[in-house]
A and B are shown apart, each in its own frame.
Chain A
Amino acid sequence: MKITYIHFLGTLMLAAIGLTSCEKVIDVDIKESASQLVIEGTVVDDADMQTIKLSRSVSYTEDNTYPPVTGAQVVVTDSQGNEHDFVERIPGVYISSFKGQPNITYTMRVKVNGNDYTAQSTMPRPVELDSLSVTEITFGGEDRKVVAVHYKDPADEVNQYRFVMWVNGTQTRRVYANNDRLTNGNDVKDQLFYSSDDDNEEINDGDVVEVEMQSIDEPLYKYWVTLADQSQNGPGGGVTPGNPPTNVSNGALGYFSAHVSRKKTITIRGNGQ
């Protein structure tokens, strides 16, 4: 929020005297980095097929093309003693047919080039996504439409959530994570703010917005909230960025998440709704 806030303030002050701030693309001198194993594994309750992706990170200066890691052994076991073998369907994408269950702890084991990587995640109890709504606000000198999710937070447990939003099928470039530290037991309205600084298009009339609400466990919340802090703050503006705390062992990047997934879609109409 911080840089957005100060930037916004600067913009307002300049607007008052008829000027604007500016941005430009610069060359940065960044050394190459060693490639790391990246594991992105999910077990969800709303699909019969679970996916674990293995790839490698690349240097900052390279294209956003991440080499798949093939030939790995991937297994997930659950706290009831079931074992699910994953098969590599396409290079780097490993798949297994089973449905995730709430309150079950899943353990992922990945073996690549003789190295073992493990992670554990517990699927929380489901929380339903009740509805989506749209409000129009004025922010940073522009009228913007903001989509909000509505859900009832259970009072008797600690809950964490992650939201993913797509506008006309394109995922917005922002990480949303929240917990019930300040909202426990309430009917919650969570507004999914984003700014065009993040290289997103604004939401306009006629757009179709889809939101996924994930109920996640505590370590995954830490993971996403750290990523969220980063994506809103460039170096020099806000917090010093760091790598999110992964739940995968042995120095791999990424995460393994067993979560409840709920989705809803809304079509934006004129006059704010």
Chain B
Amino acid sequence: MQKRHFYYLTLIISLLFALPVSAQKRYTVSGTVRDAQTGETLIGATVRIQNASAQSAAATNSYGFYSLTNTAGEYTFTITYTGYQQVTQTVNLTADTKLNIDLKSGSELAEVVVRATDRKNENVRSPQMGLDKLNMKDLDNIPVIFGEKDVLKTIQLLPGVKSGGEGTTGFFVRGGAADQNLILLDEATVYNSSHLLGFFSTFNADAIKDVSLYKGGMPSQYGGRLSSVLDVVMQDGNNKEFGMQGGIGLIASRLKAEGPIVKDRGSFMISARRTYIDLLLQASPDSSVKGNTLNFYDINAKANYKFDDKNTLYVSGYFGRDNIGIKDLFANQWGNTTATIRLNHVFNSRLFSNTSFIFNKYNYSISLLDDDNNANVTSLIRDFNLKEDLQYFSDKHTIRFGFQGTHHRIAPSEITTDGNSSFNPLSIENRYGLEMAAYVSDDWKLTDKFNLLYGLRLSSFSLLGPGTFNTYDADGDVASATKYGSGEFVKTYFNLEPRLSLSYSLNEENSVKAAYNRNTQNIHILTNASTSSPTDQYVMSSNNIQPEIADQVAIGYFKNAKDNTFEFSVETYYKWLQNQIEYKNGAQLIANANVESELLYGSGRAYGLELYTKKTKGRLTGWISYTLSKTERKFDGLNDGNYFPARQDRTHDVALVGIYNLSKRWSVSANYIYSTGNAVTYPAGKYNVGGLTTYYYTQRNANRMPHTERLDLSATLKAKETKRFRSSWSFSLYNALNRKNPYAIQFRDKKDDPNRTEAVQIALFGIIPSVTWNFSF
């Protein structure tokens, strides 16, 4: 039944786009682009016909698949990908042709030229804007705290992306909140992307193949969050030979194994890491530090098998756990679990399909260990997700369409106790939701100069029973309570989300682009803090909470110079936010059945300018990014109903990243960041109640913390290679200038003069040296 549907769709699309040009016979070249050494599919590689009158080109999709159509004739194909050597191949097009390509890694070239070729002018030509792709090779060289290379900390160095704070992986994109980023790992939503409260991210760089961050102009296959999409793809594993890779660091170690299941047909990859901070704590001479728990571990695993040229199956998963505990007092555990099963099916050389079944879960538990006060609190959010995504490639169009359905379950809080505890057992009703979306988009090469990517996404969200659903009066008291049975629809919202991006090439190296997109969001985190917390409370849109809506417009100018050595871009955006959520002062979020009575609703606006210059070739590579921005919120009942700066409103953000290859064995790198301090609320006055100095606040977030400035350095030494064994040493200095950056400001009475008040700045990290030894064989 479903299969027949696809045939009809194919037929309709063929009629729409193939027939009008049938005067001359046209054929399609399609295939997969892979790394010659490992067999990994390459995402976003460019396949180009050079000698056609009208040049045509295609990029490989997330599975390395491409499809190009042209009139009959003899053509020279060039296939390029960042960090790989270009391949040129001649094809005599007389029938639909299968052309699989293996690219050799550029690092096998002599000397220190890291990038032999590039996807020339791709950044200029593509209509996509607001997209940043991370080069996983850069990640090895960029210094980070404790020497643990990290995807999320590296994207914070890009324009328009702001760090959640010192050492954290939480981030804000173009004025959005931290919970407005859709973070996907092999298509599975990662609800909490941080380990140890944000000092590390859940993404183990060893297991990651590709990272794309959409800050705006989101393609219509993505939805559900307002601000950004971070699409992280795991490696497939080497399908040629078995290999191991790992690293031993100051506070964590990593190990990865990969290899063929059946040579050239299937492979696996499994990667794990664990921190051992608590082992160091045990060894500490300070007896009071002993007995505390502080660790995390995670495992990434993936396997794929190619049944034939048309069908490939991928299975991947992630499991991570954090453990924090204080001896005899409390223990806190949390983590994500994801599983993704995908089937790629090539219907024909022009129609590519991917079907995904996805499970993901985030849960935490807190145990209070004092006998008289014992309690165990658990909470979880769980999704089942079915997605069908189709890509149809024709001469001038790439059409993408599909549907997604997600079933959510939130178990807000469950408290159990043992024996004679101060606490009572308590269970807050589960909440169920169904999110559906259908989308279509068209990437249309209108003319040589004019490219258009437009689409539409229809999304719906339904809150489902069973349960009792309350409404609240102005005081937050229950106004009405309605019972719904299992599977009954409590409330449904529909939203149409138009997406549009276009580019106009002034010439080969210069283009202007513009984009508009609307996004909606139905899963909300109740948090007032900048960093993600393991006990973040999730709520869904409901009879009380409306879906959050964002509209963004952006325009940009893109330029390449000196044969792609330099890439330059300037983008400016304006964003309108509706139905934003804050909670009231003194709100009780944990184990509160009426948490929706504690919320305030408002709007927001954000605008900014982003400058980005990147040097991609030569001994010195790196980038400079600068963001000038403002982000504000407005809530009835806060700040007299006037706009106030959001906490993450930082006027200036600068990041400099430089990587210099000194010799074949040594490379050094540095990054420097400067950012305006967070918008915070300082007391305007003070008075005395309850025997204590009490502060009086006037305008919300009208003050600024001191600015943040940091220089990090690192050096990598490649040890002498043997045929099988490679290793390297990474040395890094985090915060090399030992600057005390503000983490928080506290106000208190002066110790030596209690009649005065003082402001105290707390800094988390001074200079931190670290060393990591990495190996592979």
Contacts and interface: CB of A to CB of B under 8 A. Distances in A.
Given A16-B284, A182-B423, A21 B765 contact: yes
Contact of B684 (A2, A33, A184, A225): A33
A93 interface: no
Given A187-B420, A240-B701, A244-B585, A9 B689 contact: no
A9 B196 contact: yes
B690 to A, nearest CB: 7
A235 B281 contact: no
A5 B373 CA distance: 19
B745 A66 contact: no
Nearest to B422: A188
B507 interface: no
Contact of A22 (B423, B681, B683, B766): B766
B251 A234 contact: no
Nearest to A63: B755
Interface stretch (A78-86, A94-102, A134-142, A261-269): A134-142
A103 interface: no
Contacts of A16: 251, 277-278, 280-281, 284, 294
Interface string B334-368: 00000000000000000000000000000000000
A148 B441 CA distance: 63
A32 B278 CA distance: 47
Interface stretch (A23-31, A44-52, A106-114): A23-31
Given A30-B682, A63-B755, A241 B695 contact: yes
A243 interface: yes
Interface in B248-283: 250-251, 277-278, 280-281
A57 B687 contact: yes
Interface in A218-273: 222, 224-227, 229-231, 233-245, 253-255
A175 B284 contact: no
Contacts of A64: 686, 688, 693, 749, 754-757
A173 B692 contact: yes
Nearest to B327: A138
Interface in B62-89: none
A234 B199 contact: no
Contact of A199 (B197, B586, B689, B751): B751
A13 B683 contact: no
A234 to B, nearest CB: 3
Contact of B763 (A23, A185, A238): A23
Contacts of A171: 691-692
Interface in A1-22: 2-3, 5-7, 9-10, 12-17, 19, 21-22
B696 interface: yes
Given A182-B591, A186-B422, A253-B687, A7 B762 contact: yes
Interface stretch (A120-128, A189-197, A202-210): A189-197
Interface residues of B, number: 95
A22 B763 contact: yes
Contacts of A222: 586
B749 A40 contact: no
Given A15-B284, A63-B756, A57 B763 contact: no
Given A234-B745, A236-B744, A226 B687 contact: no
Contact of A236 (B197, B743, B755): B743
A181 interface: yes
Interface string B668-684: 00000000001011111
B302 interface: no
A64 B749 CA distance: 9
B294 A26 contact: no
B99 interface: no
B746 A234 contact: yes
A36 interface: yes
A191 B696 contact: no
A23 B760 contact: yes
A251 to B, nearest CB: 12
Contacts of A57: 685-687, 696
A15 B289 contact: yes
Nearest to B696: A57
A237 B743 contact: yes
Interface in B689-733: 689-698, 700-701, 703, 705-706
B326 interface: yes
Contacts of A164: 690-691
Contacts of B286: 15, 141
A25 B758 contact: yes
A190 B422 CA distance: 8
A137 B586 contact: no
B764 A10 contact: yes
A178 to B, nearest CB: 10
Contact of A21 (B591, B686, B762): B762
Given A12-B294, A30-B682, A5 B197 contact: yes
Given A13-B199, A141-B288, A30 B698 contact: no
B698 A33 contact: yes
Contacts of A156: none
Interface stretch (B205-213, B495-503, B527-535): B527-535
Contacts of A225: 586
Of the candidates B328, B686, B745, the one having the most CB atoms from chain A within 10 angstroms of its own CB is B686
B221 interface: no
Contacts of B685: 33-36, 57-60
A24 B289 contact: no
A191 B585 CA distance: 23
A30 B289 contact: no
Interface string B756-775: 11111111111010000000
Contacts of B742: 26, 236
Interface string B369-381: 0101101000000
B762 A234 contact: yes
B588 interface: yes
A36 B696 contact: yes
Nearest to B426: A182
Nearest to B290: A138
B50 interface: no
B686 A58 contact: yes
Given A38-B687, A57-B686, A59-B685, A24 B760 contact: yes
Contacts of B678: 236
A257 to B, nearest CB: 9
B294 A60 contact: no
A142 B292 CA distance: 12
A180 to B, nearest CB: 9
A231 B690 CA distance: 13
B199 to A, nearest CB: 7
A183 interface: yes
A115 interface: no
A164 B533 CA distance: 29
Contacts of A143: 288
A227 B683 CA distance: 13
A6 B686 contact: no
B334 to A, nearest CB: 13
A141 B294 CA distance: 13
Contacts of A182: 375, 415, 423-424, 426, 591
28 contacts: A7-B743, A9-B196, A12-B294, A21-B763, A23-B762, A23-B763, A25-B761, A26-B759, A33-B698, A55-B688, A57-B687, A60-B682, A64-B756, A138-B326, A141-B286, A141-B288, A182-B415, A182-B591, A183-B423, A189-B370, A231-B692, A235-B703, A235-B744, A235-B745, A239-B529, A240-B681, A245-B585, A245-B586
Interface of A: 2-3, 5-7, 9-10, 12-17, 19, 21-36, 38, 40, 55-60, 63-66, 135, 137-139, 141-143, 148, 164, 171, 173, 175, 181-191, 197-199, 222, 224-227, 229-231, 233-245, 253-255
Query: Closest 5 CB pairs between A and B?
Result: A237-B744, A234-B746, A235-B680, A33-B684, A226-B586
Given A138-B291, A182-B375, A186-B421, 10 more contacts: A2-B533, A12-B289, A19-B766, A33-B685, A59-B686, A183-B424, A235-B681, A235-B705, A241-B695, A242-B638
